[in-house]
Amino acid sequence: MLKQICIASALTLAAGSAAASPELAELWGAKAAALAGDSAPLLDTARQGRMPALDDTYVIEVERFAFNATRLGDWTRQAGAPPAIGCSFLSLGEETEIQLEALEGARSARASADALDGLLSLFADARTLSAAAAWSARHMGDQPVTLSQPSPCPQQLPRIDRVAID
């Protein structure tokens, strides 16, 4: 539990920094893996036709995960990383919030299972995204950082496993 609190605190404090941080991206990916592990038993319960019991800690951690995805998206875009990475963080944060709301509002085990399936998919995407962001942060050091206003994200983002790092 202490490790989770430290990771969440590190993400919250460091996400607003102006310098690229591959470690921060990796911590966020580790949080995605931990949340996937916490979500799996809930999904098993829902697939057995029973409503999973959501405790406050789980909900708060998913909310923090979504919040930090948004902050990492802003930070990544401002740090001069490829736009697709920043936009993917932002999109993932928004979609996580949508899936969490669907899970909290679910009135059936089937609806809970659908929302949990969505969250697990997002957590898998987050691990891929965190690796791409960490790689980008480590390899962008020789390139000048753009401090101008980042361009808006496109409506339809490419899949993160299809994003090329420039």
Q: Residue ranges of the domains in the chain?
A: 22-139
Which tokens sit at 17? Answer: 């920094």
Q: Which of 26-30, 58-62, 113-117 has the lowest mean pLDDT?
A: 26-30
Q: Is 4 helix (H, G, I), strand (E, B) or coil?
A: helix
Pick the more confident residue, 78 or 107. Answer: 107
- Tell me how far CA of residue 54 lies from CA of 103, 113, 154, 166, in angstroms: 9, 13, 34, 41
Angle, CA 123 vertex, CA 79 and CA 97 arms, to 5°: 80
Q: Average pLDDT for residues 91-115, to the nearest whole number?
A: 97
Q: Are 150 and 87 in contact (CB under 8 A)?
A: no
The C-alpha atoms of residue 121 and residue 107 are separated, in whole angstroms, by 21
The C-alpha atoms of residue 163 and residue 154 are separated, in whole angstroms, by 14
Please enumerate in sequence order all residues whose Cβ is within 8 A of that of 147, keeping only pairs 6 or more positions apart, or say none: 78
At 7-16, the pLDDT tens digits run 444 444 443 4
Instruction: Say if residue 95's pLDDT is above 50.
Output: yes
At 45-62, the pLDDT tens digits run 999 999 999 999 999 999
Q: Which of 41, 51, 25 is nearest to 119 (CA)?
A: 41
Instruction: Say if residue 18's pLDDT is above 90.
Output: no
* pLDDT bucket at 114, cuts 50 / 70 / 90: very high
Whole-number pLDDT of residue 7 = 43
Pick the more confident residue, 145 or 151. Answer: 151
Pick the more confident residue, 43 or 85. Answer: 43
